[in-house]
């Protein structure tokens, strides 16, 4: 039976389903049309996060020559490794010293271009780009909306700053970063509205997880879309919340306010630190002395030494410290859950940005569980395939959603044509009468 014949059958006209209420119709329309208009951008931002799950593994595998450390009873410190690079490459602007798999990676401020130093021999074993090529492109798209000139794919128009309109959160934000943040907010709306639209009621709860194979393609795609969406919703909500909060801290503040947290303890709000004024020519204490002061404040293993800008006397050192038994990133390249600032001229001037001590349960849960879940880095590569699978589900949602919409449009056109034919037949009957 053709679609047109099916629509003309008496059974179809006598078995009409209950029409949804105005609120549900409005929510359905918003869910559908916001996806149709902005879905391509949202899909690009979300799916580009999948290869980033394995960024460290990809870099180590493609730069295996860098990871051949030599055993030594007196290995180089981070400061000594930094000096080796500065001596060999005086024009290189170092921003970080990262210990990784037995070597030091001295990187630029963007954690991109780097030199590897063997602590055992003091030799520079090679160089590379952590975010080079395709990996750099997806990082630029996923994290910056192609607005970062340090990575491939940079688009100058997206790198321009937004008008702040007197809003602190928009100060210095680029158009690209705003697109990424708004994508998170859109995903948050789609996931939340999807739960409402999926809800079949308590009596028919099991039907919400059923895809009927013997039905039309429209029904199959619609039900598959709902089932995939409700299964993926925990990951989608987590990615949406953390992605939006990374660009708009007010999103995290709202989350903490709802969950009995303390918005004043947001880590990103505590990244303001200024080294105290000193006389011109006062020497920098160096990364090793600053590191010792940081570990004294927050005991643990330093996994990144962020260096102060050479031309900014007010800048300070920032250390990412892995606290024993507390760091969900401890097995990753970018480990460190404790963050400590140290004055570049005074080791006694220290500020703990975050160490989890004294925080509310909600704040700790967000920083140690919700936010870290965004990356999946606290589990090994095998378990991270779960993140990869869920990261690709938006593609399936897009395909099933588009198929459902096109089927619906075809049926609407068929109904219009049928009404027009009936009207023409009625007019013809009136004329002949």
Q: What is the CATH number of the domain that holds 83?
A: 3.10.450
Q: Are residues 340 and 356 in the same domain?
A: yes
pLDDT score at 419: 83
pLDDT score at 405: 86
Q: Are residues 41 and 87 in the same domain?
A: no
Is this prediction's pTM over 0.85?
no
Token output for 235:
């990951």
Cβ distance 102 to 120 under 8 Å? no
Token output for 80:
């000594």
In DSSP terms, 104 is beta-bridged to 99, 117
What whole-number distance in Å separates Cα of residue 400 and Cα of residue 353? 45
Cβ distance 171 to 12 under 8 Å? no
54 CB contacts (<8 Å, ≥6 apart)? 381, 384
pLDDT score at 333: 62
pLDDT score at 310: 85
pLDDT along the chain (433 residues), means of 10: 46 52 86 88 93 90 92 93 96 94 93 94 93 92 94 95 87 94 95 92 88 83 92 95 93 90 74 86 92 94 91 92 79 75 95 80 86 82 90 93 86 82 78 70
154 belongs to a structural domain: no
147 belongs to a structural domain: no
Domain count, the chain: 3
Q: Are residues 288 and 358 in the same domain?
A: yes
Token output for 243:
């992605």
Cβ distance 303 to 326 under 8 Å? no
Q: Are residues 78 and 180 in the same domain?
A: no
Strands (E) in 344-408, as ranges, are 350-354
pLDDT score at 50: 94
406 CB contacts (<8 Å, ≥6 apart)? none
Q: Are residues 43 and 61 in the same domain?
A: no
Token output for 169:
């959160």
What whole-number distance in Å separates Cα of residue 338 and Cα of residue 354? 5
Q: Are residues 43 and 186 in the same domain?
A: yes
189 belongs to a structural domain: yes
Q: Are residues 175 and 39 in the same domain?
A: yes
Q: Are residues 217 and 268 in the same domain?
A: no
185 belongs to a structural domain: yes
Q: Are residues 125 and 69 in the same domain?
A: yes
322 belongs to a structural domain: yes
**Domain span at residue 321?**
263-373
Q: Are residues 341 and 309 in the same domain?
A: yes
What whole-number distance in Å separates Cα of residue 130 and Cα of residue 317? 22
pLDDT score at 269: 63
Q: Are residues 282 and 222 in the same domain?
A: no
Q: Are residues 283 and 234 in the same domain?
A: no
pLDDT score at 86: 96
151 belongs to a structural domain: no
CA nearest neighbour of 295 among 233, 339, 325: 339
289 belongs to a structural domain: yes
388 belongs to a structural domain: yes
Helices (H) and strands (E) in the chain, counts: 14, 8
pLDDT score at 168: 82
């Amino acid at each position: 039976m053709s679609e047109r014949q099916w629509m003309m059958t008496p059974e179809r006209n006598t078995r009409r389903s209950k029409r949804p209420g105005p609120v549900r119709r409005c929510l359905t329309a918003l869910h559908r049309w916001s996806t149709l208009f902005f879905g391509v951008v949202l899909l690009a931002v979300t799916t580009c996060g999948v290869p980033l799950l394995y960024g460290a593994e990809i870099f180590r595998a493609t730069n295996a020559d860098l990871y051949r450390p030599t055993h030594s009873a007196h290995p180089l410190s981070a400061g000594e490794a930094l000096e080796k690079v500065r001596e060999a490459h005086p024009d290189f602007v170092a921003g970080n010293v990262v210990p990784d798999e037995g070597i030091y990676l001295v990187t630029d401020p963007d954690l991109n271009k780097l030199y590897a130093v063997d602590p055992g021999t003091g030799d520079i074993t090679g160089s590379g780009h952590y975010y080079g090529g395709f990996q750099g492109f997806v990082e630029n798209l996923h994290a910056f909306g192609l607005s970062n000139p340090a990575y491939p794919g940079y688009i100058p128009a997206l790198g321009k700053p937004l008008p702040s309109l007197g809003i602190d959160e928009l100060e210095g934000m680029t158009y690209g970063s705003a697109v990424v943040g708004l994508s998170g907010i859109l995903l948050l709306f789609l996931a939340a509205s999807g739960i409402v639209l999926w809800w079949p009621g308590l009596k028919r709860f099991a039907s919400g997880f059923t895809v009927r194979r013997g039905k039309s393609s429209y029904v199959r795609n619609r039900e598959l879309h709902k089932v995939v969406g409700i299964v993926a919703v925990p990951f989608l909500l987590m990615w949406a919340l953390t992605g939006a909060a990374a660009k708009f801290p007010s999103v995290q503040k709202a989350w903490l306010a709802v969950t009995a947290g303390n918005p004043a303890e947001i880590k990103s709000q505590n990244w303001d630190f200024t080294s105290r004024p000193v006389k011109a020519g006062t020497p920098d204490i160096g990364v090793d002395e600053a590191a010792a002061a940081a570990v004294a404040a927050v005991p643990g293993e330093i996994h990144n030494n962020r260096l102060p800008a050479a031309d900014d006397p007010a800048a300070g050192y920032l250390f990412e410290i892995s606290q024993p038994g507390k760091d969900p990133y401890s097995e990753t390249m970018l480990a460190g859950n404790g963050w400590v600032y140290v004055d570049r001229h005074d080791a006694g001037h220290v500020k703990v940005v975050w160490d989890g001590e004294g925080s509310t349960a909600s704040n700790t849960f967000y920083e140690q569980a919700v936010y870290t879940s965004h990356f999946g880095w606290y589990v090994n590569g095998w378990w991270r395939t779960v993140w990869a699978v869920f990261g690709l589900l938006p593609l399936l949602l897009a395909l099933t959603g588009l198929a459902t919409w096109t089927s619906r449009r075809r049926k609407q056109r068929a109904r219009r044509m049928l009404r027009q034919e009936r009207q023409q037949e009625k007019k013809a009957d009136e004329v002949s009468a």
